């Protein structure tokens, strides 16, 4: 009679061992299927800003040089002032308001450059170079360019926290 009890104990031990292995295998597969955060593309940017005369200005870098950019949701492209880009080998007429539309018109040159905002860098970002000197005078503040929709539309949402002076850009 001792033999059947021993066989039952072995059977229980084997069953516990098999169930343990199955549980470990399931846990392993669950961990494999759990998405990890994408370190190559963070969930967004936290961009500090300051305001001058109700205009939002952010700091960034263009090809390693510090720049101040005015947030311009009406500009379809990011525009950099010719002085900030150090374009001196050919003159660009200053941008002008034609009075017929809300936008500005002027000569531009398209280039690709590296643009950095907070902890994110756009490598080879297409931007327009224009002479913004008269726009700086017209608005009464100094800035090096306009941060346009081409950058802002890369994010799902743009939230401006005026009390914390932070723009949250979420993918």
0.75 surpassed by pTM: no
pLDDT in tens, 104-149: 778 888 899 999 999 999 999 999 999 898 888 888 999 999 999 9
Ranges of each domain in the chain: 1-35, 44-170
DSSP string, 117-159: ETTEEEEEEEEEEEB-HHHHHHHTS--SEEE-HHHHTTSSEEE
* 44-170 has CATH 2.40.70.10 classification: yes
pLDDT in tens, 8-42: 666 677 777 777 787 777 777 666 666 655 555 55
* Centroid of chain to Cα 99: 34
């Amino acid at each position: 009679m001792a033999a059947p009890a021993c066989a039952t104990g072995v059977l229980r031990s084997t069953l516990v061992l098999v169930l343990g292995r199955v549980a470990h295998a399931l846990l392993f597969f669950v961990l494999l299927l759990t998405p990890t955060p994408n370190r190559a593309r963070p969930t967004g940017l936290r961009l500090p800003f300051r305001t001058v005369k109700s205009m939002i200005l952010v700091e960034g870098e263009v090809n390693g040089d510090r720049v101040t950019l005015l947030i311009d949701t009406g500009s379809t492209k990011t525009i950099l002032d010719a002085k900030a880009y150090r374009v001196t080998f050919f003159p660009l007429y200053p941008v002008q308001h034609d009075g017929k539309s809300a936008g500005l018109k002027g000569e531009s040159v398209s280039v690709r450059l590296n643009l950095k905002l907070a902890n994110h860098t756009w490598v080879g970002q297409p931007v327009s170079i224009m002479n913004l000197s008269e726009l700086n005078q017209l608005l009464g503040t100094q800035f090096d360019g306009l941060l346009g929709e081409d950058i802002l539309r890369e994010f799902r949402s743009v939230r401006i926290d005026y009390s914390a002076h932070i723009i949250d850009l979420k993918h």
